Structure 1
């Protein structure tokens, strides 16, 4: 088992009115020269969690952090006009929270962050601020995942 101390949340930069399946993601990453998907997990709009990369293999989407991180990508990130927005569905929010909680249990002492939080601290004030983000990904505060309310239970028929 490789050393892991970071769980990084990404988004696929997918418009909320379009679909971007795990097969689309894998195809795009292969065309960029990766060995399959660059993330370990992909969470579809319907909440399905797809394991795309064995945890024994490094992530390939967070240069400088790949060797000791686990990457989770959500099918989300852009509104219907193509602007950055938190477009996760309630299903995705629930699945992401559950997955992150399990990974934090399995990798005690790991930190949770968004890809944008790994941007350089250009003004050297000790915090990464929105004007310093290299990418907006993900379009939400990753640490807030643990504070998100659980979605209501569906009414059983």
Structure 2
């Protein structure tokens, strides 16, 4: 089964809002997004979901076969959702790290806490990472050889 990178990228654009990133030229933006996609695909929990998996950055396409296929539609939607969620996490991680180390130094303690978005960002990252792990686990226990009686 083939899946264009752009399908994943367009769904990811719906989950993030970063005006600075979106103001980059198309080549730089595409390079950043491809790198994030590769980081998600390189996760050992992700790669184990596939019987075969190949990414071609030249033609911007993924070719894959699921370890336990359900249907073409379900498999494609699962992979798109998984990579979209993973890319959102990869986008948010550096932002959380940056906010953690660049809290505002001016004002009273209460003002610093009001101006520092770190806790909200950290909470969002934790939620996304939990959702990612749950998505990986639920696909694994629903679609496996034991349940299918193989």
Give the TM-score range, shorter chain: under 0.3
Which of the two has higher C-alpha Rg?
Answer: 2
Q: Which has the higher strand share?
A: 1
Between Structure 1 and Structure 2, the one with more helix by share is 2
* TM-score between the two structures when normalised by the length of structure 1: 0.26
